[in-house]
Amino acid sequence: MWGKWAVAAMLVGVTGCVGGEQGHAEGVMEPWRPVAPENLVLLETTTGTVAIELAAEAAPAHVAQFRAAVRSGVFEGEYFYRVIEGHVAQAGLEFEQRLTDWPLLPLEAERTTPADGFAPLGNADLFAATAGHRGGFAIGREGEQEWLLNCTGALGMARDAGPDTGSIEFFIPLGPRRYLDRNYTVFGRVIDGMDNVHRLKRVDPEAEENYPGLFEKGEAASKAAFAARAERLSGNEIVSIALAADLPADARPAYEVMATPGAEWDALKTSKRDYSGIDAFIHTPPRVLDVCSLPVPARRVMLQNDD
C-alpha cells in the first residue's frame, strides 16, 4: 500500500540523506534535521497523501495515544467528517458511542520549559508575548510557559467542553486559528501534502436528529444510516494511515525539516521581511513576519542504504 511512498522518496532530487543528529561533536549545527520515523505519520486520503510530524516532546500523552490509534487501524475507512471552509478539517470516529475504547486525555496545550532551543521570530506577535519556533514547530511563549500554535496545517486534538476530554478525534486548521492557542492540544503539523487537506469536500458533522437511526433503531436501520453517511463523506475517506517506523526500512519515505534555530532559517526569515528591492512597490512593507505565514520548510529526501 505504501510502495509509492518509497518510489517518491527515491526520486526526490535533493542533496544529502537522512541520518545522524542535528549537531556534531564539533558543535556545528546541521541546517536540516531528519524526522524520526516514529514521529512521521503517513496519511492517505481520497484527495491524496499527507505527511505529518508528531510533536512528542510537547504533548507526549496525545502523541502516544494517537500512535496507538494509528497502529490499531481504527482510522482506516473513516472520514474527515467536519470540514469547514476557513476553519478546520476534523477526522476520527465522530460519535461518542464509538469512542468508548479510547481513554480521555489530560489537556497538554502548554508546558513549562526553558528558552534554550527556542528561536524567536524577531518581531511582536498579536497573541503571544513572544512567538517563534522550536524544532520546526511554531511556538508561543510567555515567561517559562510555551505552547504550539494553531497555524495552518497544525495537528490538534478535538474535544468536548471539558479541558480533559480529548481522545483520538483530530483536526487540521485550514488557516491560522490562533484563538484556539492554549485551549486545545496541538501535537504535530503537516509537513507535506497540505494541498490535499485543502481539497477535502466541505461537510458538516452528522445532524443529531439522525443519531437514532445510527444507534437506536436496530441493525437494519443502523446499516442503512451508516451507508448513507459513507456516501455523503465518500470524497473524504481515510484510505490508510501508518507510522513510517512500522513500514519496511526500504519502503518508507524520509523527510527533513529545516533546523530552528539555524543559519538557513534566519536567512529565510530575513529574505521574507525585506521587500525594499521590489520596484513596483510604492510603499515598502514593514520588516515584520507573521509566525503562521512562513511555515518552516520540510523536504523529502533520498533513502540511504544501510550497507
Instruction: Convert the pLDDT of each residue in 144-200 to its tens digit.
Output: 999 999 999 999 999 999 999 999 999 999 999 999 999 999 999 999 999 999 999
150 three-class SS: coil
Domain-embedded: residue 73: yes
pLDDT at 5: 39
Domain-embedded: residue 219: yes
pLDDT at 304: 57
Domain-embedded: residue 277: no
pLDDT band, very low/low/confident/very high, at 240 (cuts 50, 70, 90): very high
Residue 127, C-alpha cell as written in the block = 497573541
Domain-embedded: residue 183: yes
Domain-embedded: residue 306: no
Per-residue pLDDT reduced to its tens digit, 101-157 = 999 999 999 999 999 999 999 999 999 999 999 999 999 999 999 999 999 999 999
∠ Cα 196 224 213 (to 5°) = 100
Average pLDDT of the residues in 274-291: 93
Burial of residue 191 (number of CB atoms within 10 Å: 0-12, 13-18, 19+): buried
Average pLDDT of the residues in 62-67: 98
pLDDT at 183: 98
pLDDT band, very low/low/confident/very high, at 1 (cuts 50, 70, 90): very low
Prediction pTM value: 0.90
Indicate the number of domains in the chain.
1
Domain-embedded: residue 307: no
pLDDT at 203: 98
Q: How far apart are CA 126 and CA 179, in angstroms?
A: 10
Domain-embedded: residue 275: no
pLDDT band, very low/low/confident/very high, at 29 (cuts 50, 70, 90): confident
What are the residues facing 258 on neighbouring strands?
32
* Domain assignment of residue 232, given as a range: 3-19+27-268+283-301
Per-residue pLDDT reduced to its tens digit, 10-27 = 333 332 333 333 444 445
Q: Which of 137, 123, 111, 132 is nearest to 257 (CA)?
A: 137
pLDDT at 205: 97
Average pLDDT of the residues in 28-43: 93
pLDDT at 23: 43
Q: Report the relative pairing of strands 130-134 and 111-112 from DSSP bridges.
A: unpaired
pLDDT at 25: 41
Residue with cell 512597490: 281
172 contact partners, CB below 8 Å, separation of at least 6: 88, 89, 90, 153, 154, 155, 156, 190, 197
Per-residue pLDDT reduced to its tens digit, 73-103 = 999 999 999 999 999 999 999 999 999 999 9
Residue with cell 525539516: 257
Q: How far apart are CA 257 and CA 31, in angstroms?
A: 9
Domain-embedded: residue 145: yes
Rg (CA), the chain: 21
Q: How far apart are CA 86 and CA 114, in angstroms?
A: 34
CATH of the domain at 190: 2.40.100.10
pLDDT more than 70, % of the chain: 89
pLDDT at 36: 98
Q: How far apart are CA 221 and CA 92, in angstroms?
A: 22
Mean pLDDT of all residues belonging to the chain = 90
pLDDT at 302: 79
pLDDT at 8: 38
